[in-house]
């Protein structure tokens, strides 16, 4: 646990008592704060009270006497579509609102660091797609290189549940737009922007607000190095805003699919090969085609971002290349589950939007595509350029029939359930084909989350192996 600094003797309110809320309350108490807490769920409040937390109804005006700050969990709206009533009350009373990410960045550095030979570093990763894979890959590379490292944030451990820093340690954080938008302190040493595609637009008041939430990690934080994916206009804009000119090597531009020239430091992948250029000269090259844990152009972009971040903290190209080859990938993200009878089965349940599904479809040829669920606004018409790779689609869930109307002449069947989709795809697949779960939809019509959907697909595929 990382005790929160600067709160001793203060009354701090915590809103939301899920994983991050409970960890925040504990870290505040460890820092000497008097913690009061509230959650909208009665069962959650009772469980927290049983654990010793002081439950105070923050919807009441008399609860705010002497409260110095409100710390809210990331899933609770604080601006759009409208603020939670407790947050609105804090605004009206002039009580500062923050989250656990802000507390982490103001509390991670301690006086103990003066005795370290090498100061700890923080790498923070944000973006729309690929940030979990990029975060996990950076963490894996650091471990393989023998660097002390922890991983947390939106993946793995909550930030305040991380252990205090070791000498020379690198903490790798995945940060969502929900987390970056509100944090009052954002000071990573290296900040990574993977890409941007429409998502969570209701929460951010539109596409511009969504990008602005991501941009805060760079504009507010002033990282020593910024790794920026420049395959979209937002990335190009952000890199330009952060750079003082072509010779400024504080910005490392990253791309999958285009050669980057004319800037001081760039990392890009083309035709399966990663290249690093510094000051106009090639510094390294890695063949990514044989790295089974990173299939497809979207994962090659992740590889470039992770490579650049690790180079920014001093790792050598050969160390990074060796770690690439031992990276198994993340569950539910272009994860190869099995190869049965020459047919590859891939779980990309995390592909919950059109952009992520497109990247998954572009990574493979001759695809038996399992798609559907709770479709998102705008439908899947934008996937049309990718459908030439699809041999047949097996559509499931609430939006199956809507999807069928949008996939043109692509052969399909309405499978309804995952069981039927996997069974029919497996019976019809031929050697050399890929059965790909890339739903392009949320899971909530049939599953509590994308993880459970991916686990169900994986279990069904494992059952095929035993036949």
Distance CA 122, CA 224 (A): 10
Contact 110, 165 (CB under 8 A): yes
**130 among the known binding-site residues?**
yes
Nearest 5°: the CA angle 83, 84, 89 is 85
Distance CA 368, CA 365 (A): 9
Instruction: Point out which residues pair with 193 in neighbouring strands.
Output: 126, 228
Strand, coil or helix: what is 150? strand
Distance CA 176, CA 153 (A): 9
DSSP state of 426: H
DSSP state of 70: E
Q: How distant, in Å, are the alpha carbons of 77, 187, 197, 210, 284 from that of 202?
A: 10, 27, 14, 9, 42
| Inter-helix orientation angle 131-144/317-325, to 10° | 110
**128 among the known binding-site residues?**
yes
Q: How distant, in Å, are the alpha carbons of 39, 42, 65 from that of 61?
A: 16, 20, 8
Q: How distant, in Å, are the alpha carbons of 168, 351, 387, 391 from that of 384?
A: 48, 16, 5, 13
Distance CA 267, CA 160 (A): 32
**279 among the known binding-site residues?**
no
Contact 170, 142 (CB under 8 A): yes
Length of the chain measured in residues: 467
With the CA atoms of 191, 197, 202 and 207 taken in that order, what torsion angle do they form, in degrees rounded to the nearest 10? 80
Question: Which burial class, exposed, middle or buried, applies to 198 when counting CB atoms under 10 A from its CB (0-12, 13-18, 19+)?
Answer: middle
**132 among the known binding-site residues?**
yes
- On the question of a cis peptide bond just before residue 81, with omega within 30 degrees of 0, the verdict is yes
Contact 275, 287 (CB under 8 A): no
**154 among the known binding-site residues?**
no
| Inter-helix orientation angle 207-219/233-242, to 10° | 30
**107 among the known binding-site residues?**
no
Distance CA 356, CA 260 (A): 23
DSSP 433-462: -EEEE--SSBSTTTSSSHHHHHHHHHHHHH
Distance CA 176, CA 160 (A): 16
**16 among the known binding-site residues?**
no
Residue set of the binding site for ATP: 127-133
Annotated binding site: which residue ranges? 127-133
């Amino acid at each position: 646990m990382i005790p929160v600094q600067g709160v001793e003797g203060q009354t701090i309110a915590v809103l939301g008592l899920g994983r991050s809320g409970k960890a925040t309350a504990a870290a505040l108490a460890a820092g000497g704060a008097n913690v009061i807490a509230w959650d909208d769920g009665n069962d959650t409040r009772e469980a927290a009270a049983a654990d010793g937390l002081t439950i105070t109804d923050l919807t009441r005006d008399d609860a705010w006497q002497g409260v110095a700050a409100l710390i809210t969990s990331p899933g609770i709206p604080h601006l759009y579509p409208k603020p939670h009533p407790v947050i609105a009350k804090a605004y009206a009373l002039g009580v500062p609102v923050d989250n656990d990410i802000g507390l982490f960045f103001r509390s991670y550095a301690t006086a103990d660091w003066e005795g370290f030979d090498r100061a700890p570093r923080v790498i923070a990763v944000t973006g729309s797609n690929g940030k979990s894979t990029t975060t996990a890959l950076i963490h894996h590379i650091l471990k393989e290189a023998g660097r002390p490292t922890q991983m947390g944030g939106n993946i793995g451990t909550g930030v305040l549940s991380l252990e205090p820093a070791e000498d020379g340690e690198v903490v790798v954080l995945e940060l969502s737009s929900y987390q970056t938008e509100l944090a009052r302190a954002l000071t990573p040493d290296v900040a990574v922007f993977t890409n941007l595609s429409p998502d969570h637009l209701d929460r951010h008041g539109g596409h511009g607000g969504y990008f602005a939430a991501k941009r805060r990690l760079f504009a507010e934080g002033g990282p020593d190095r910024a790794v920026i994916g420049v395959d979209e206009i937002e990335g190009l804009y952000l890199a330009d805003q952060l750079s003082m000119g072509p010779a400024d090597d504080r910005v490392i531009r990253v791309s999958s699919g285009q050669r980057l020239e004319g800037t001081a430091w760039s990392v890009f992948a083309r035709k399966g090969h990663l290249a690093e250029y510094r000051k106009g000269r090639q510094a390294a090259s890695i063949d990514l085609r044989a790295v089974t844990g990173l299939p497809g152009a979207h994962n090659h972009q992740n590889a470039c971002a992770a490579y650049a971040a690790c180079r920014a903290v001093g790792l050598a190209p050969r160390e990074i290349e060796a770690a690439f080859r031992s990276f198994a990938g993340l569950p539910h993200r272009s994860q190869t589950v099995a190869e049965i009878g020459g047919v590859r089965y891939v779980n990309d349940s995390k592909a919950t939007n059109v952009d992520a599904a497109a990247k998954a479809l572009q990574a493979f040829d001759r695809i038996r595509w399992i798609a559907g669920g709770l479709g998102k606004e705008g439908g899947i018409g934008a996937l049309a350029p990718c459908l030439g790779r699809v041999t047949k689609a097996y559509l499931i869930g609430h939006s199956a029939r809507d999807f069928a109307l949008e996939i043109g002449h692509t052969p399909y069947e309405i499978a309804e359930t995952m069981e039927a989709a996997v069974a029919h795809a497996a019976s019809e697949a031929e050697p050399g084909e890929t059965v790909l779960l890339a739903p392009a939809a949320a899971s909530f019509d049939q599953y509590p989350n994308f993880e459970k959907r991916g686990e169900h697909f994986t279990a069904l595929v494992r059952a095929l192996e035993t036949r």
